[in-house]
A and B are shown apart, each in its own frame.
Chain A
Amino acid sequence: MTLSLTAAQLHGPTSLAEAVRLVAGGAVPLAGGTWIMRGPRAGDHVVLAGLAELHGVATAGDTVVVGALATHAELARHAWPPALAALRTAAAESAFPQVRNVATVGGNIGAAGFAEADLVPALLALDARLRLGDAGGAVPLAGYLAARPAGALVVAVEVDAPAGRTSGFARQTVRGGGEYAIASVALAVDRDAAGVVTAARVAVGAVEPVARRCPEAESALVGAPLTAASARAAGAAAAAGLHPRDAPDAPGWYRAAVLPAVFERAAARAAEEPR
């Protein structure tokens, strides 16, 4: 363990460009602080709260753009289309009110080492893209999580909400209440008029060190209606393809063992959304 005795230096940029420059130079972005305040709290931090560009949720056609400073509470309150219901549920069931009121989507994505982040699997299942504070276009969230490019500031998250798609999210905790999930599941499905799944995106959080899509579960869902049985089978397929982590709150085998049940709950929620 390193003990840092350096005082934190806070920067309050007055423009997004200035914030981007500071973060590119190595300063840490500070949004709601709920992750950072549990760490050493030292070094340079960039206070983002004053930057209007990072706030709010906007819709352009089928695409929804969520500012990085949108809190879990705001996401839980927002009127989402059925395609994005998983995001609402993940935000509403994460942690508890005092944390949801300040913790942001940008922080949930940007917190390295946060295996239990709830919004991340939901956003992966929704095929989210990130706008980083550079001149380039939006990048896939999955790629960002794999590389965690140093000095990149998450400015906004883009998700598509085509008609006919529904999504659902469920999480499992050891006790009730506001704990970290030991496994979380988000799925988004497109279904034809007969209810047969034509495309599926599935992501699992808290099981591996970083949330990820589960192609085995996606192929297991396609070609049949979304039922409790098909969801459980997809959960078993996902469990077989994952490398679950052991941690004090749950051993790896247990995380894998609960997955079919969590899949069933997430699928039931996706199925009950209107199409």
Chain B
Amino acid sequence: MTPLLDVLRDRLGLRGAKAGCGEGRCGACTVRLGDRTVASCLLPTVLATEPVTTVEGIAPPDGPLHPVQDALLEHGGVQCGACIPGMVVSICTLLESDPDPDEATVRAGLTGNICRCTGYQKIVEAALAAAGKDQP
């Protein structure tokens, strides 16, 4: 059974979703299936029966970045970048279902996205800023 991640990266050339742990623990492979996030490394492709959105589909290829992506850059939320495609998909999905989250909600929404670099604080601040909750 081929995981959706392999189809995205190797057959469709969409390299945004990353192969991190390959076993559903890191969230680097996060994509959207319909209106919910999934770990594409664990999703048998046969179950991808709803539209799939990868980070490549979050903002148009040559257009401006999505506000969540801008906020991540502005708040220093990106270091090596390995976790960021998954973070972007998770944050965008979270903000669509809850446009006015508090910090605890953002942190809970990102429990499945591991970042080895930033310590999370700047990513959380970026997510809150993208929701219009800029902190001083």
Contacts and interface: CB of A to CB of B under 8 A. Distances in A.
Nearest to B86: A98
Range, interface on chain B: 20 to 34
Contacts of B12: none
Of listed B1, B30, B36, B46, residue having the most chain A CB within 10 A? B1
B106 to A, nearest CB: 12
A37 B41 CA distance: 8
B47 A178 contact: no
Given A97-B112, A177-B111, A178-B112, A41 B1 contact: yes
B24 interface: yes
A97 B37 contact: yes
Contact of B27 (A12, A30, A41, A96): A96
B37 A37 contact: no
Interface residues of A, number: 25
B112 A98 contact: yes
Contact of B24 (A12, A73, A99): A99
Interface in B93-136: 109, 111-112
Contacts of A41: 1
Given A98-B27, A98-B38, A30 B112 contact: no
Contacts of A196: none
Contact of A34 (B24, B30, B109): B24
A102 B38 contact: yes
Task: Please provide the 10 A-B residue pairs with the shortest distance between their CB atoms, ordered closest to farther.
Answer: A96-B112, A101-B36, A96-B111, A98-B39, A37-B42, A33-B44, A8-B1, A178-B111, A41-B1, A98-B112
